[in-house]
Amino acid sequence: MFHVNRLANGENGRRYRILNHFFQKRQANTYKVLNVIVSSTNDLGPFSLDNFRKNLSASWRVVGLETTNSTHELKQPTHVRQEKPKMKDGRSSDGLPLWTDSPARETRRHLIERRREKRAAELVKEDNVVTVKLENAAIERSKSVESAVLGKYSIWRKEIENENGDSTVRLMRDQIIMAKVYLSIAKMKNKVELYQELIFRLKESQRALGDTVSDADLHHSAHGKIKAMGQILSKARELLYDCKLVTGKLRAMLQTADDQVRSLKKQSTFLSQLAAKTIPNGIHCLSMRLTIDYYLLPPEKKMFPQSENLENPSLYHYALFSDNVLAASVVVNSTITNAKDPSKHVFHIVTDKLNFGAMNMWFLLNPPGKATIHVENVDEFKWLNSSYCPVLRQLESSTMKEYYFKAGHPNTLSFGASNLKYRNPKYLSMLNHLRFYLPQVYPKLDKILFLDDDIVVQKDLTGLWDVDLNGKVNGAVETCGQSFHRFDKYLNFSNPHIARNFDPNACGWAYGMNIFDLKEWKKKDITGIYHKWQNMNEDRVLWKLGTLPPGLITFYGLTHPLDKSWHVLGLGYNPSVDRSEIDNAAVVHYNGNMKPWLEIAMTKYRSYWIKYVKYSHPYLRTCKLNE
C-alpha cells in the first residue's frame, strides 16, 4: 500500500495533476464559448439587419406580439469531461498505459505552436492589407460622385443628424426589402400560399408608403400594415430562413439598385445637358419681339449716346460676349447698380447677327443710366475669317462637322450625355472664342474686364483696375482647391507636346471675370500663342472641348491669382456653396448647367439673379417671363 501511495504521489501524481489542470481549463473555455453563443443569439436572433445598419429596426419584431428567445437558448451541456481517477501502476482506469512527452516531441510541439502563431500573424497582416485596399477603392469611387448629388443626399446633412427621425418610414422600407427577399425564396421553394400572402402584404405596404419620406406624412393605417407585414415576415422566417440564400438575395438586390442608380444618373446627365442647351420660350419670344421693333426704328433712333467714350483708356471698360438678351441685361444692370460712379463705366457687348437687333433694342429702351454702352455684331468682324482664325477653319472643315454632328456618337443614353456636349452651340460659336482676340477687337484700350453672361455683380469692380498683375496678362481667381481643377483634368498629358511643356499639377483658374492687360498681351503675342496650340489640336489630341483648356495653355505662367472674394463660382452646379462666401463676393458665377434663367436652376441661388430682372417691363410681361 505504501508503495502504491508513493507512486501516486510521485511521477504519476504529477502527470495526473497536469491532466486534471488541462481538462479543467478546457472545460472553462468551453463554457465561455457557449455563453458567448447564447448571449449573441439572445441579442440578435438567427438573422437581424442590426448587423448591417445601426438603428435598423428588425422587420420581424411586431408591435403587440410577444416573443422570447427561449428557442435560441443553449442549456449548459450535461456531458462534460469528468476528472480521471487516480492512476495505479502507471495505468489509467481503463488499463491503458500513460506516457510522457520526450524532449524531441516537446521541441516539435513548440515548433508547431510557433508556426501557428506566425501563420496567424501573416493572416492578420493580409487581412489588414485587404482592408486598406478596400478603403482606398471606396475613397476613389466616392470621388466619382458628383458634388451636386453629395449635397442633396449626403448622410452628413443636418436633416439626418437625428438617428430616430422618421423611424416608421425606415421600418416600412426595411420590411418591403425583406418581403422581396422572402418572396423570391418562397417562389424558388414552391411555397404558393406563403408567396400569395407576401405579395398581398407587399402591395399593401408599398401603397401605404408611396412617396412618403417622413413619419408625419404617413396615413394612420400605416401602423396596422406594419403589424400585418411583421407577422407574415415572422412566418416566412420560420419556414424559409436560410442565411446563405438571404445574403445572396440581398446582394443581388443591392447590385440591381446600383445598376438602376447608374442608369438614372446617365439619364439625368443627358436631360440636364439637353435643358442647358435649349432657349426658354420666354427668352426666345423676347428676342423676336425686340428684333421686330428694332428694325422698325428709323436710323437716327438706333444710335447710342456718348460714343466718344468707347476708346477712352482712362475709363473702366467691360467686354461682354452674349447671345442672351435677358442674361446680358442682368450683367449690365447689376454692375451699374453697384458702381460708385456709373458715368465712368463703358460696356462693349458683342452678339451674333440673330440677336443683334434684340440686344440693341433692349438697351435703347433701357439705357444703363450714365454709363456708356455699345453693341456689335461678331459677323461684321471681317478680319475674323478662316484664313486668320484656326478655330473658324476647323469648324468649317468636313472632319469637324463629322465629329460634331454625324457618326461616331451613338444615340443611346449611355453615350447621349457626352454626345450632347459636342452639340452644345457654345462650343461651336465664335462668340465663345472671341476672348482670344481682345486687342484686335479693342485696339486702343490698355485694360479690359471680361465678363461672362451668367454672372451677377454685387460690388463695385473698379478696384480690379488697380491690381498689380506683376507683368502678367491675365488676372483670375484660381480654382485648384480641389484636384479636378488642375491641368491634368483638362489636357491630354499622354501627348508628348503637353507633357513636355506643362505641369499636370498646375493650378487651374476660372473664366467669367478676368482682368486683362492688353499692353502686355500685345508684347507677349498671346493671340499668336493661342493660334499655335489651336493649330496643333486640329485632330483634338491635346484637348477636346471649350475655351478653358486652350486658355490654360495660352496664359500658362502669365496668370496672376486674384483674391477669391472677387469671384465665387459654382452656383450653376454646386448646392453646397457657402452662403457667406456668396454674400461677400464681388461677382457670383452660375457656371454649370443650372443657369438662373432655366427651370432647372437651383432655387436657393436664383434670388441673387432675379433681383436685377425688370419683370414689370412690358416686353417681359408679354412674353410671360416672370419670377
| Per-residue pLDDT tens over the stretch 147-196 | 444 443 333 344 444 444 578 888 988 899 999 988 888 888 898 999 99
Asked if residue 498 and residue 519 are part of one domain, the reply reads: yes
- Structural contact between residues 56 and 174, judged by C-beta atoms closer than 8 angstroms: yes
User: Does residue 524 lie in a domain region?
Assistant: yes
User: Which of 488, 535, 509, 520 lies closest to 589, judged by CA?
Assistant: 509
Please tell me the distance from the alpha carbon of residue 120 to that of residue 36, in angstroms, as a whole number: 22
Asked if residue 260 and residue 391 are part of one domain, the reply reads: no
Asked if residue 571 and residue 433 are part of one domain, the reply reads: yes
Q: For position 381, what pLDDT does the model report? A: 94
User: Does residue 581 lie in a domain region?
Assistant: yes
Please tell me the distance from the alpha carbon of residue 75 to that of residue 38, in angstroms, as a whole number: 9
Asked if residue 271 and residue 247 are part of one domain, the reply reads: yes
CATH code for the domain of 466? 3.90.550.10
User: Is the C-alpha dihedral spanning 295, 300, 304, 307 positive or negative?
Assistant: positive
Q: For position 132, what pLDDT does the model report? A: 67
Asked if residue 527 and residue 428 are part of one domain, the reply reads: yes
Domain range holding 251?
Answer: 166-276
Domain boundary among 276, 302, 331: 276
Asked if residue 229 and residue 312 are part of one domain, the reply reads: no
Q: For position 37, what pLDDT does the model report? A: 45
User: Does residue 324 lie in a domain region?
Assistant: yes
Q: For position 379, what pLDDT does the model report? A: 92
39 phi/psi in degrees, rounded to 5:
-65, -40
Do the bridges between strand 587-589 and strand 567-568 make them parallel or antiparallel, or are there none, so unpaired?
A: parallel
Asked if residue 313 and residue 217 are part of one domain, the reply reads: no
Q: For position 136, what pLDDT does the model report? A: 67
Asked if residue 356 and residue 236 are part of one domain, the reply reads: no
Asked if residue 594 and residue 564 are part of one domain, the reply reads: yes
Q: For position 120, what pLDDT does the model report? A: 76
* CA-CA-CA-CA dihedral for 390, 393, 399, 401, to nearest 10: 110
Asked if residue 317 and residue 202 are part of one domain, the reply reads: no
Domain boundary among 251, 276, 301: 276
Q: For position 34, what pLDDT does the model report? A: 47
Q: What is the pLDDT of residues 365-383, one digit of tens each?
A: 999 999 999 999 999 999 9
Q: For position 301, what pLDDT does the model report? A: 93
Q: What is the pLDDT of residues 107-151, one digit of tens each?
A: 888 888 888 888 777 777 776 676 666 666 655 655 554 444 444
Q: How many domains, in total, are found in the chain?
A: 2
Domain boundary among 217, 249, 276: 276
Radius of gyration of the chain (CA): 38
Q: For position 523, what pLDDT does the model report? A: 96
Counting as low any pLDDT under 70, the low residues of the chain are 1-101, 127-128, 130-165, 273-276, 398-428, 481-484, 627
User: Does residue 130 lie in a domain region?
Assistant: no
Q: For position 448, what pLDDT does the model report? A: 98
Asked if residue 190 and residue 315 are part of one domain, the reply reads: no
Asked if residue 312 and residue 197 are part of one domain, the reply reads: no
User: Does residue 533 lie in a domain region?
Assistant: yes
